Structure 1
């Protein structure tokens, strides 16, 4: 015969069940609160860590130096081959220009292959753009020289050079080479701005730069303007933008600008480039005189004997 629960037993059972429900609820609530607090803690730590550890700075000196050795120098070697070939053709009427052009096409392809595999970090977009433009340039030069080999020994050296300079592939290749150079010098300006807050890393010069403004500029800004000028003039040269900068400063220092009543950087640059008064290495020869205290990245072409 079943024993029926009395009132006190029933109340005790209900109280026990209620306590059990509350205990289980409290347990899961505690787990949730603990989880939320832990997630909040780690989220805060991640934010703090992100603030305390900023992203690597673009345009560090090591990036400029690496680019110099892996990209710029490779392209420069091809360009030196091209200028050497021109000088040989002009000096020796019997030179085998067709053979030279085949070698130039091979050189352009070889340098293209070498530069293509170089990893330039996207965090430095102007260096990346420079690499891309050098690659385009070399590919276009290779196509130009390959296409003109067949007629390279016809006529005089001057005739052949005129034909090359008029070739659409060559002209586009020259534009890309000068654009690449301009981007590299702009990257140097970015580097300078990262260590000197007085320098504007995004500086864009006016169409005409007065000599009054030019004289106040840091060397790194002058070099950027010189590279911009060579790009605008489509002037592919064996000298570098800082060589043009040095010759301009020498021209001003000598009093020639005052005597000729020249008032702008542009006018002096036009005079010096049109008269072939700038030479590769001019900067090194004048560095101690004009730029002893100027800040430059440790790139070999800025220093004697490197």
Structure 2
């Protein structure tokens, strides 16, 4: 009887030791599995973080603002002086056209250097726009030099016509319009990252109906107007958003319907041909038409904050 108990006790002890070994083994195996899963989780998270960082949009608001101050503004300052000079010519309101165009040539060269002071190539559209504005300013420099020479022999009216027909000036205008188009396309891409309902790009159909135009976001409208100005080779003293606001006012007022106009191109042609757009039209209508519109914080959209 005593022997059987000893055997039982021995079997019990062996079983207990075996269970203990299994338990300890399972414990350490669980630790290993848990560690591997945790490491895999954080590796995956780290990869996701890296991918997210790599996919950050190159069209952030700070990029648009930097571009505005370092590239667009130098060009715009020159453009304002150029239009002021051409206006003086048309009015015969200058005593020395040669000196005026020499000053413009120097200003264009100076602003071209300013526009080159930052590298915007990480944002393809902003990089394209920067190159366009720099090339435009360099060509304006050449056009102004040629105009200064022509001013010695031509009357004011003849000089203005001569400048506007000259190939260097026309090329300068085209590069400026192309640069403008790229800048407003970049704004559209930015808005699409803030509001996913806005497409990152929008190419107008051959005929864009006004009923469809009314449904578009303002960044899309501005991009389309930049396209319209590019197509028409219209270098203007006003911004694309000024023309956008005039189109919207024309449509919302019912004037387009009264004149039986149904397409964007028809309204744009009318407004441009009748010189019905002015610099500042957007600012005047902003509180009425675009109070809640999504726009980047750029000075020409929010002049009241300057």
Q: TM-score higher than 0.5 here?
A: yes
Q: Normalising by the residue count of structure 2, what TM-score does the alignment of the two structures yield?
A: 0.83
The alpha-carbon deviation at position 169 of structure 1 amounts to 1.0
Indicate how the Cα distance of structure 1 residues 109 and 246 shifts in structure 2: closer, same or farther if over 3 A, else same.
Answer: same
2:154 corresponds to which residue?
155
The alpha-carbon deviation at position 47 of structure 1 amounts to 6.0
The alpha-carbon deviation at position 225 of structure 1 amounts to 0.5
How many residue pairs match? The answer is 265
CA contact (8 A) 2:89 2:160 kept: no
- Cα deviation code 1:78-111 (max 9, x no counterpart): 0001011112222235521111110111011000
1:154-303 → structure 2 map (5 Å cutoff) = 154-303=153-302
Between the aligned partners of 2:47 and 2:75, the Cα distance in structure 1 is 39
CA contact (8 A) 1:88 1:95 kept: no
The alpha-carbon deviation at position 121 of structure 1 amounts to 4.1
CA contact (8 A) 1:238 1:280 kept: yes
Give the CA RMSD over aligned residues.
1.8
- SS of residue paired to 1:280: coil
1:115-134 → structure 2 map (5 Å cutoff) = 115-122=115-122, 124-134=123-133
1:17-166 → structure 2 map (5 Å cutoff) = 48-53=45-50, 54=52, 55=54, 56-92=56-92, 95-122=95-122, 124-166=123-165
- SS of residue paired to 1:200: coil
- SS of residue paired to 2:78: helix
Q: Normalising by the residue count of structure 1, what TM-score does the alignment of the two structures yield?
A: 0.83
The alpha-carbon deviation at position 146 of structure 1 amounts to 1.1
Runs of 5+ consecutive residues of structure 2 not aligned to the other structure: 1-37
The alpha-carbon deviation at position 205 of structure 1 amounts to 1.0
CA contact (8 A) 2:191 2:219 kept: yes
Indicate how the Cα distance of structure 1 residues 42 and 293 shifts in structure 2: closer, same or farther if over 3 A, else same.
Answer: same
Between the aligned partners of 1:119 and 1:51, the Cα distance in structure 2 is 28
Between the aligned partners of 1:107 and 1:288, the Cα distance in structure 2 is 36
Runs of 5+ consecutive residues of structure 1 not aligned to the other structure: 1-40
CA contact (8 A) 1:93 1:157 kept: no
